[in-house]
Structure 1
Amino acid sequence: MTIREETEAIERQTLSRYATLSENSLGRRVPLEPDPIRPCFQRDRDRILHCKAFRRLKQKTQVFLSPEGDHYRTRLTHTLEVSQIARTISRALRLNEDLTEAIALGHDLGHTPFGHAGERALNRLCPGGFSHYRQSLRVVDYLERDGQGLDLTWEVRNGIVTHTSGAWARTPEGCVVRRADHIAFLNHDIEDAITAGVLDARQLPPEAVAVLGHTKSERITTMITDLVAHSGNGKINFSPEVEAAYAVLKDFMYATVYVDKEAKREEKKVDKLISELYARLCDEPALMPNFYMQIAYNEGVDRAVTDYISGMSDEFATRLFEELFVPQKWKVL
């Protein structure tokens, strides 16, 4: 037996009967020879971890645009936190941790620069709209590796495209990542908002605090513990009490922090920056790299410009805007 086959045998013996076994994967669009060491979902995890889109997450906004300070979340740190929470839940439920981790690491690969402000801008501009979860799937299916894509398994792709809203994933591991994403972004956004002075912890709804806890650690622990205790038969659920407390806390954040004038004062500039870049690149697609020029030829200029802008980091988008629209100093040779 190869090491991979031994690992697959261990999965059969130790994982829950509801877990997604590596050997039962529905496979890839382009079949690959089995790896002698890594089961298929571990292989997917590695492909995501080493791709360019994953590295760009380190310079993409989570909530606060270009914050001054080392301890605010970026899209990369958010992704890692989601991955760890999801792995903890999957291990407790004896689900497939490799599949869970692969979905978690890939779930935000298609996110725009400047967080949800950038996503809203592209959604307004792009014919047919734009959503980061569909773009994440496009990244792994096509945009990575110069148009070859990462050729991930069906289960990982399904978990990525269903991680936000709408239909739930077809695997319990994908459902775990969706819950972990909600646990992570809500609690970490609260911590960042307190650090930024936008929120005082005493403002949090007392009915939610009474159920979930007073600190980030208490709330995350409560939500993970509750989820593990009330999940079963392949379904990943909170108890009604915790689900209700989570909803109260989320509504509070959307009514206060996510619309705070001080925290969001720069977002109008994001709309202007994205709009100007979009219009200019549509008018002059030759400003884009050759790879995106090929997309423009095959799928239309709008599609190419959307792919190009959505893949930018905050820093790159700002620098390109300055190059295209801000007069440069005259240099005397």
Structure 2
Amino acid sequence: MNLDPAYERKIVALEAHFPKYAKRSTASLGRKNPISEDPFRTPFERDIHRVLHSLPFRRLKHKTQVFFSPKDDHICTRMEHSLHVSSISATICKRLDLNATLAEAIALAHDLGHTPFGHAGETAMQKIQDEYNKKAKNTELLPFVHEAQSLRVIDCFRNKLHEPLNLTYEVRDGVVCHWGEPNERFLKPQYKKDLKSVDITAARNQRPATIEGCVVRMADTISYLGRDFEDACMAELIRQEDLPLDLRSTLAPDANKNINSQIIGTLINDLVNNSKEQDYLKFSDNIFSAMKTMKKFNNQKIYRHPELVGQERRIYLILKELFDYFLDILEDSNKFSKIMNAPQTNYPCAVFIDFLNDMKYPSYTSYTDKVQIVTDFIVGMTDNFALACFEDLFQVKSII
């Protein structure tokens, strides 16, 4: 790293108080593909900027978190969620004397590979890909998970104006290992992991190699627990009064303050107080028990609400029809040749052609290649674009 000497001294001074288990900016292992140095930005600062200016990040503002195509513009989007995780991660890192810049970069990139239509979209893609793999007895393609897809976006996605993001090894690892859905009271990094060997197989199989990556994994949960409840209230699926009193008294005791902000504050304070001067992160027994209860409440009252369950079925239909359509193009050599060589009035096909040309896939031959290509294309769609493609291709009114 060749920083301007004065700027490097400033960074070193700012990070001099970091504990030995924190990741210093000057100690980054770099990138898979080296790039020219910037004298006034550390590698992790550059990662933040590379993500913020990328097309996959811009599309997150049109991907919903839980509620699909919401009419209320205040309902959380995937971009807003990423910004929340970044903010929470930075707050925790600053209070624990960890590298907030690294954590922010991981947080901003952690959902770049998420599907349209939120959690229901991911469930649909998992089912669709599993169906195709079983049909072809294909064992080469790993089950779809958005953490692995986010790493694919970082390493592979390009277009006419943008090369792949090519983020640092530390950020790549934090992104692919950010899954925090299992109830985790205690989380310690895999400090001795070989960062340069981390690939998509690490998703849901490994812990982050840095404590900053662990912070993001915890912050992801902190971010959505209260916000999903708040959004469900705004969508009139539940009422604030539905939150059990024991949860309210533990996580958000002040009746005059916003419930979500109190939950975030309570969880941050508890995590910080139980993790100070430790090379791991930990919640107290009492707060962790409340978190598990809140997750169970959200699952029963929000995620499994009849209205959302009904939408899940429609989301699956939309993505399955799109998947079938574009995979058929790759499977049928005549159709493929026709759309690649003739002017296109079919907008979805025109976008698909541009996508294939931009991505520069090395091969379209194997079944695994084709399923992965269509997965990449559909996962990159926003909610609105997926709906528009469905309506355009099948000439039906939106079913959402």
Identical positions, percent: 41
Pairwise CA distance, 1:164: 1.0
Partner SS for 1:265? helix
Alpha carbons 1:205, 1:249 under 8 Å: kept:
no
Query: Could you tell which deviates more after superposition, 254-263 or 9-18?
Result: 9-18
Return the TM-score normalized by structure 2: 0.78
Q: Is residue 137 of structure 1 aligned with residue 151 of structure 2?
A: yes
Report the counterpart of residue 38 of structure 2 in structure 1: 35
Query: Could you tell which deviates more after superposition, 33-42 or 99-108?
Result: 33-42
- Cα deviation digits, residues 171-197 of structure 1 (max 9, x gap): 111111111110111110000011111
CA-based RMSD of the aligned residues comes to 1.9
Alignment of 1:121-270 (within 5 A): 121-126=124-129, 127=133, 128-145=142-159, 148-165=163-180, 166=204, 167-214=206-253, 215-231=259-275, 232-270=277-315
Report the counterpart of residue 96 of structure 1 in structure 2: 99
Alignment of 1:12-23 (within 5 A): 12-23=15-26
Equivalent AA in structure 2 for residue 158 of structure 1: D
Pairwise CA distance, 1:327: 6.3
Query: Could you tell which deviates more after superposition, 137-146 or 89-98?
Result: 137-146
Q: 1:327 to 1:250 in 2, by over 3 A?
A: closer
Q: 1:7 to 1:151 in 2, by over 3 A?
A: farther
Pairwise CA distance, 1:252: 1.1
Return the TM-score normalized by structure 1: 0.93
Alignment of 1:65-104 (within 5 A): 65-104=68-107
Q: Runs of 5+ in structure 2 lacking a partner?
A: 134-141, 181-203, 254-258, 331-335, 337-348
Equivalent AA in structure 2 for residue 218 of structure 1: Q
- Cα deviation digits, residues 2-45 of structure 1 (max 9, x gap): 35412431244232332200111122111233310001100111
Q: 1:240 to 1:149 in 2, by over 3 A?
A: same
Which of residues 351, 355, 369 is equivalent to 1:300? 369
Q: 1:197 to 1:117 in 2, by over 3 A?
A: same
Which of residues 316, 319, 332 is equivalent to 2:385? 316
Pairwise CA distance, 1:262: 2.2
Alpha carbons 2:355, 2:377 under 8 Å: kept:
no
Partner SS for 1:150? coil
Query: Could you tell which deviates more after superposition, 121-130 or 97-106?
Result: 121-130
Q: Distance in 2 between matches of 1:198 and 1:169?
A: 36
Give the number of aligned pairs. 328
Q: Distance in 1 between matches of 2:15 and 2:243?
A: 45
